[in-house]
Amino acid sequence: MTPDFRLDRTLSASELEDVLRQVGSERYHIRHPFHRLMVEGRLTRGQMQAWALNRYCYQAAIPRKDAIILSRIEDRSLRLVWRERILDHDGDGASPGGIERWMRLATGLGLDAAIVASQRLALPATRFSVGAYLTFVEKRTLLEAIASSLTEMFSPQVIGERVAAILQRYPYIDEDTLGYFTPRLTQAPRDVDVALAHVREHARSIETQQLVVDALIAKCEILWTMLDALHFSYVEPGHVPPGAFVPEAAS
């Protein structure tokens, strides 16, 4: 496999899955320096707040992204399972969804809920990355849109590492504050089963397989870019763009 994942022949479904896993192992944000600092316990409270405030924008966009995908699915049985994702994030009016649970994380870190929800203090690059994800699923083929969700193949690993490290190394954050992540450990594999089965079934030519691989790469780049922006603004060199969140001194 070339370093930029150019395919030179049509793959079997399981070979394609292997390539997708290889993309994740090389390009998923688990390798990003900002994530590494987090799990090493080396982020300040202010940097953790910046992460939670910015990641809220991503969380808030996920059900809108899935609604776009839903609107493009012609197969009723696939629509039925895909709509679960929207409930996971929006809730059903009775039990809270992911957006509310993420807000609990943000407020548990000391952020003001109204400020987080307004998204006004998010980094420009966060907004642009989230916008790129929405545009991607709208403009590309349905196959690419579905494939772009496959970063979730790798999310249980990044979540497991993050939660264990935070509980061990950040004494002011407790299990309750991290409640967002627990359901994701079962929701993500269920989502992946559906998306991966679709991709394995529908990407049978070298051209469609390349589209799928490139969609996953593009999604890894979206996640990576968000952490790049956090790193540049809040770690090194520490240039916060005008108008973006500024942690309180000493936090």
Site residues (CB under 6 A) for ligand PQQ?
62, 98, 149, 151-152, 155, 158-159, 184, 223
Comparing CB distances to ligand PQQ, the nearer of 59 and 233 is 59
Query: From CA 48, how far away is CA 53, in angstroms rounded?
Result: 9
- CB crowding 89-116: b at 16 or more within 10 Å, else e: bbbeeeebbbbebbbbbbebbebeeeeb
Of 180 and 234, the one with the shorter C-beta distance to ligand PQQ is 180
The amino acid at residue 137 is V
Q: How far is the CB of 223 from ligand PQQ (least distance, A)?
A: 6
Residues 216 and 79: their CA atoms lie apart, in Å, by 21
CB of 105 to ligand PQQ, least distance (A): 11
Comparison of 31 and 204: residue with beta carbon closer to ligand PQQ: 31
Minimum separation from the CB atom of position 155 to ligand PQQ (A): 4
Amino acid at position 81, single letter? V
Residue nearer to ligand PQQ on the CB measure, 81 or 204 = 81
Closest approach of ligand PQQ to the CB of residue 98, in Å: 6
Are 233 and 239 in contact by the 8 Å Cβ rule? The answer is yes
Residue 52 CB neighbour total at 10 angstroms: 22
- Which CB, 184 or 231, lies closer to ligand PQQ? 184
Beta-carbon contacts of 160 under 8 Å, excluding residues fewer than 6 positions away, are 185
In the complex, least distance from residue 152 CB atom to ligand PQQ, rounded to whole angstroms = 5
Measured distance CA(56)–CA(64) in Å, rounded: 13
Whichever of 224 and 245 has its CB closer to ligand PQQ, that residue is 224
Q: How many residues does the chain have?
A: 251
Of the pair 166, 244, the CB lying nearest ligand PQQ is at 166
Q: Quote the least distance from Cβ 57 to ligand PQQ, whole Å.
A: 13
| Torsional sign, CA 137, 138, 141, 146 | positive
Looking up tokens 């980094």 gives 123
Token pair 């309750």: residue: 176
Per-residue tokens: 175? 């299990």
Q: How far is the CB of 159 from ligand PQQ (least distance, A)?
A: 5
